[in-house]
Amino acid sequence: MGKIAFLFPGQGSQTVGMGQALAQSEQTVSETFKKADEVLGESLSKLIFEGPQDKLTLTTNAQPALLTTSIAILRYFSRFGIKPDFTAGHSLGEYSALVASDAISFEDAVYAVRKRGELMEEAVPNGEGTMAAVLGMDREKLQDVTETVSAGGSAVQLANLNCPGQIVISGSRKGVEEASAQAKEAGAKRVIPLDVSGPFHSSLMKPAAERFESVLDTVTLKDASIPVIGNVTAEPITEAAEIKKRLIEQLYSPVLWEDSVTKMLELGVDTFVEIGPGKVLSGLVKKVNRSARTFAIYDAETCAAAVAALKEEEE
């Protein structure tokens, strides 16, 4: 039997009502939401379950909300005894992966990602930075475009390398607009401006990263019991010191998601279980390798189906 990786979604997957049905029927799930409320000193769970969506989507809310929902679902799924060989998460999702790998407590992670969201929001005045998804262009060509534009004085860089033909660029508004226009001229199929509040995973986030280091100084990071495939390196990491270093770098470095999936496949993973709202990552895995098996677990029904399929194999 091949190896299993647990994947955790990042910002953009949040929806009002996520995790609510499970919280109503499962104590471990409802307790996870209550614990997040306690840590933050506010009713995050009410916002998650009732909205409004625009408030939930704010970076400072979306980050702890997604982490909490993912870990609540993970705790429900964990009772069925299926264990991963690796974990990974997309950007913010890396914190859920670290909780799943015992490298950080859930409480410390909720606190850290709330602060991370605040610092990311504050790093660049609203409207001065942005992001765009570039479809149907290979990374070397797009890298050339962003380097040319940045050299001309408008900061822009590759931010999320999601799967073949889907790359997000990030930087100053002017840089992203210029790079978008040049990418189209150079043969990109489509360029879609993203509705984000800042230029995440770009050099403009370096001030936030510097301040975030002092936040990480206040939480406990331990060696991971299950290797985490990091966004910054697309390599397995387990040592606490390296985890901390990469979490700081992650704020201004590209998310090497395609490379991370490729690395897990090389390490013998053939089953990817996405835990948390939505199924964005399952779709990206399929675009990297069509024959990989994926499960997206976001409620009791999807959990039952995945457990049935995975348990059948063990017999």
| Token digits of residue 240 | 């606490």
Reply yes or no on whether 90 is catalytic: no
User: What is the CB neighbour count within 10 angstroms for residue 300?
Assistant: 15
The structural domains of the chain, ordered by start, are 3-123+204-314 (3.40.366.10), 129-196 (3.30.70.250)
Point out which residues pair with 13 in neighbouring strands.
none
pLDDT tens for 99-127 read 999 999 999 999 999 999 999 989 988 78
pLDDT tops 90 at residue 181:
yes
Catalytic (active site) residue 260: no
Name the active-site residue from 70, 91, 101, 172.
91
Would you list the DSSP string of 171-229? EEHHHHHHHHHHHHHTT-SEEEE---SS-TTSGGGHHHHHHHHHHHTTS-----SS-EE
Give the strand pairing for 86-89 and 3-8: parallel
CB-neighbour burial class of residue 127 (10 A; exposed 0-12, middle 13-18, buried 19+)? exposed
In sequence order, the 6+-apart residues with CB closer than 8 A to the CB of 185 are none
pLDDT of residue 315: 66
- Give the C-alpha separation, 223 to 14, whole Å: 29
pLDDT exceeds 70 at position 147: yes
The count of other CB atoms within 10 Å of the CB of residue 26 is: 18
Q: Mean pLDDT across the stretch 176-187?
A: 97
Q: State the Cα–Cα distance between residues 12 and 195, nearest whole angstrom.
A: 9
For residue 200, pLDDT beyond 90: yes
Q: Is 52 exposed, middle or buried (0-12, 13-18, 19+ CB in 10 A)?
A: exposed
pTM of the model: 0.97
Kindly give, in sequence order, each residue whose CB lies less than 8 Å from that of residue 229, ignoring residues fewer than 6 positions away. 5, 86, 87, 88, 97, 235, 236, 237, 260, 263, 264
- Active-site annotation holder among 13, 101, 180, 201: 201
pLDDT tens, residue by residue, 297-315: 999 999 999 999 998 877 6
